[in-house]
Amino acid sequence: MKRKGLLFYIKLYCKILSQDLKSKMSYRADFIISTIGMIFTNIAGFVSFWIMFRNFSSINGWGYHEMLFLYGFSLVSLTPAQCFFDNNWSLRNYVYTGDFIKYCFRPINLFFYYQSEVFDVKGLGQLAFGLGTVIYSWIKLGLGFTPLMVLKMTVFLLTASLVMIALQTAAAATCFWINNSFYVLDLAYKFRDYAKYPITIFSPVFRTIFTFIIPIAFISYYPSLVILRPDEVPLLSWLSPVFGIAFFYIAYRIWMFGALKYNGTGS
- Give the burial class of 141: count Cβ atoms within 10 A of its Cβ; 0-12 exposed, 13-18 middle, 19 or more buried: middle
53 has a pLDDT exceeding 90 = no
- Secondary structure element (H or E) that encloses residue 250, with its range: helix 240-261
The confidence score (pLDDT) of residue 29 equals 72
For residue 2, what pLDDT band results from cuts at 50, 70 and 90?
Answer: low
Q: What percent of the chain has pLDDT over 70?
A: 91
Q: Which residue has the higher pLDDT, 215 or 20?
A: 215
Query: What's the chain's average pLDDT?
Result: 87
167 has a pLDDT exceeding 80 = yes
The model carries a pTM of 0.87
The confidence score (pLDDT) of residue 175 equals 93
Quick check: 19 and 13 in contact, CB under 8 A?
A: no
CB atoms within 10 A of CB 165: 24
267 has a pLDDT exceeding 50 = no
The confidence score (pLDDT) of residue 208 equals 92
